[in-house]
Chains A and B, each alone.
Chain A
Amino acid sequence: MDVMPKWAEVILVPLISLILAAIISALVILAIGEDPVAAVKLMVSGALGSTYGWGYTLYYATNFMFTGLAVAVAFHARLFNIGGEGQAALGGLGVALACLYVPWPHWSLALLGAIVMAGLFGAIWAAVPAYLQAKRGSHIVITTIMFNFIAASLLNYILVNVLRPRGSMDPATARFPEGVHLPSLHEVLAPIGIGFSKAAPANISLLVAVLACVLVWVLIWRTRLGYELRAYGHSESAAKYAGISPFKITMITMIISGALAGLMAINNVMGEAERLVLNAVEGAGFIGIAVALMGRSHPFGVFLAAILFGFLYQGGAELALWTKIPRELIVVIQALVILFTGALDNMVRMPLERMFLAMRRARAPKPVEPAE
């Protein structure tokens, strides 16, 4: 049934979807009375024109890599994890506990500890909906949405009543000690002679995110578990027949997915804010959906899509700063990307398939007409 060559499937379809989303975004900018060309120029110079801009772009991209991978892993098993927001919030709680209550001798050990705690907390928050889907048949989409709200309430309660330092009015934890300070890209790159902006929040978590992309690739395409996971995603009944336990796959997939979403906290909570505040996730869990869809659930695609969204995020912030276009433009662009690459996938795919079929027919030798 492969109508299209692989390159068209992997590059052409997402590219056309992306162009459609871009055209409509430009129309939206025009409609609110601004100049789309000037807007794009401002976004590019603001996000990529300086190491400061790059620092923010890569910082956001790091967040989106984690949440994008989380959604992507679940997609492979045909599970739709909308709970990245809550899982990342709980991951933040794990990071805060690790950083506040353990006297780490060195940042590298603190990072390892934080990774474990962030992953663990995110995984637990994803495991409950997974269990309820696998054992009780409750729809994972609805339960993960509900768990986002519950996580927000829970975190609100903990920050206000438990972790808030005495005398502070802010619903936030105390600052993390100096010892768990993660090196920024400036500190990483300075020894090898690259001058990188000191002010930008991009930090060593970026490398962890890239490593996570590689590990997810290995998991999905080079391990037995990954094979089972994809088989389950393609056909649940066939997978069952082949002796793959749906319960096991659902649980493991969601635990990995939740852990990846939770890991985002090492970047924003530990690397940037250095304390846990309310709503630290800032929608990155949802952007993960767009990132995974655009990256076709492939870790390398997720990597590229995350950088694109990092660019959009930082560019959008610059737009809001210098023009009258509000930040919400990014939400619109994100919606269009989700719409075209996810929901309207067939709108792009069907005509393309027809085109490739026609081309193939034209190239194939004409059948010999039978003689009279």
Chain B
Amino acid sequence: MDFLTLIQLLDSTVRLATPLLLACLAGLFSERAGIFDIGLEGKMLAAAFFSAAVASVTGSVWLGLLAGIAASLALSALHGVASITFRGNQLISGVAVNFLAAGLTVLIAQSWFQQGGRTPSLIGGGRFTPITLPFADAVADVPFLGPIYAELISGHSILVYIAFAAVPLTWFILFRTRFGLRLRAVGENPAAVDTAGVSVVALRYAAVGICGVLCGIAGAYLSTALQAGFVKDMSAGRGYIALAALIFAKWRPWYALYATLLFGLFGALETRPDVITALTGMRVQGQLLGALPYIMTVIILAGFVGRATPPRAGGEPYVKER
């Protein structure tokens, strides 16, 4: 494998890891506050549809992004009402969110655009276009470092940079601010937070809201940057992979980056079987490669590669008087 192929491979790794990273950080906020969320998939899907739909109608991708975030926030609110206010089962609520998004997006797309459950292809201002970082063209010919900067680091859409910037930001919010401390506490021991006079309900809604915003960006990235338009079920299990990455990352921001990059690499390799053949000298089945993230998750979950301890109060509704 030559250097350029490697750069191309890493480039598509970054592209494919971005929605996973955003969704993974979304799940991180929610689960650190004690709200399990298997609805990441649904929120991403809803956001992908609404951002593509609004971007295609208005011609502005930024309005599309806002619409995507709004759609994702609406589903977050639903999940919050079900699992915080009415103390319902968070897993069941997440399943409902996923189905709601899967059905509604096609239903609305069909009645809106009549194109078999997809949106028109986005063109021009309806898409996030690659950003060329300063001096990228100038240094492109510099050996080794030039291509890394020009091909790998430069030339992504702004959402990619937002996603990568969200990692240190998440770390800072969670581990260096009072809000973050309380948010983590509410996922470990809500009673203690309550005793301290801080509202458990408000904190959990805030966490679920942040989760909604991040999922919204992830979804918008899928339909307006990675692809040009929405197609049915386009999130394609990424929400579940993000959840898997979250467990892999042991609910930590920097590990989330590494985990999603790893899963992104699997995705990139899946489209380049020739690279694997060249590297290992074997023909690896595409289906095996596709299943690898899931198999790895199961192995990690089983604790064969270090123990991942979820937030202690995760999945349990908080009842004030007991």
Contacts and interface: CB of A to CB of B under 8 A. Distances in A.
A326 B287 contact: no
Interface in B76-111: 78, 81-83, 86-93, 95-100, 102-104, 106-108, 110-111
Given A141-B38, A142-B244, A338 B86 contact: no
Given A137-B303, A335-B99, A342 B92 contact: yes
Contact of A324 (B38, B88, B110, B295): B110
Interface stretch (A117-125, A186-194, A300-308, A344-352): A344-352
B263 interface: no
A142 B297 contact: yes
Contacts of B244: 142, 146
B107 A32 contact: yes
A336 interface: yes
Contact of A138 (B100, B117, B302): B302
B301 interface: yes
A157, A324, A344 — most chain B CB neighbours (10 Å): A344
Contact of B107 (A146, A154, A329, A342): A329
A28 B287 contact: no
B102 A346 contact: no
B301 A326 contact: no
B218 to A, nearest CB: 18
Contacts of B83: 343
Given A136-B302, A153-B291, A336 B100 contact: yes
A334 B97 CA distance: 11
A162 to B, nearest CB: 11
A332 interface: yes
Contacts of A336: 96, 100
A156 interface: yes
Contacts of B95: 82, 286, 289, 338, 342
A282 interface: no
B303 A141 contact: no
Nearest to A32: B111
Contacts of A156: 287
A238 interface: no
A137, A289, A330, A332 — most chain B CB neighbours (10 Å): A332
Contacts of A331: 99, 102-103, 106
A132 interface: yes
A33 B92 CA distance: 30
Contacts of A324: 110-111, 114
Contact of A328 (B98, B103, B298): B103
Contacts of A227: none
A218 interface: no
A326 B298 contact: no
A307 B250 CA distance: 43
A356 to B, nearest CB: 18
A67 to B, nearest CB: 14
Which size class do A's interface residues fall under?
35 or more
Contact of B103 (A136, A139, A335): A335
B106 A326 contact: yes
A149 interface: yes
A213 interface: no
A342 B117 contact: no
B240 interface: yes
Given A32-B107, A157-B288, A334-B99, A343 B301 contact: no
B86 A344 contact: yes
Nearest to B92: A342
B237 interface: yes
Given A157-B287, A342-B93, A138 B298 contact: yes
Contacts of B291: 149-150, 153-154
B285 interface: yes
Contacts of B81: 344
A14 to B, nearest CB: 14
Contacts of B302: 132, 136, 138
B174 interface: no
Interface in B281-296: 285, 287-288, 290-291, 294-295
A145 interface: yes
Contacts of B237: 149
B24 interface: no
A252 interface: no
Contacts of A335: 96-100, 102-103
B110 A326 contact: yes
A138 B104 contact: no
Nearest to A29: B107
Contacts of B240: 145-146, 149
Nearest to B240: A145
A339 interface: yes
B82 A138 contact: no
B102, B103, B303 — most chain A CB neighbours (10 Å): B103
Contacts of A129: 298
B290 A153 contact: yes
Given A145-B38, A145-B240, A149-B240, A136 B91 contact: no
A130 interface: no
Given A336-B96, A343-B88, 19 more contacts: A32-B107, A32-B108, A32-B111, A80-B92, A142-B243, A146-B244, A146-B294, A146-B301, A150-B295, A153-B290, A157-B287, A286-B95, A326-B117, A328-B107, A329-B107, A334-B103, A335-B97, A339-B93, A339-B96
8 A-B pairs with least C-beta separation: A331-B103, A335-B99, A138-B301, A343-B93, A332-B103, A153-B291, A32-B111, A342-B92
26 contacts: A32-B110, A129-B298, A143-B298, A143-B301, A149-B237, A156-B287, A157-B288, A286-B95, A293-B92, A324-B110, A324-B111, A326-B107, A326-B117, A328-B102, A328-B107, A329-B107, A331-B102, A334-B99, A335-B102, A338-B96, A342-B88, A342-B92, A342-B93, A343-B96, A344-B81, A346-B86
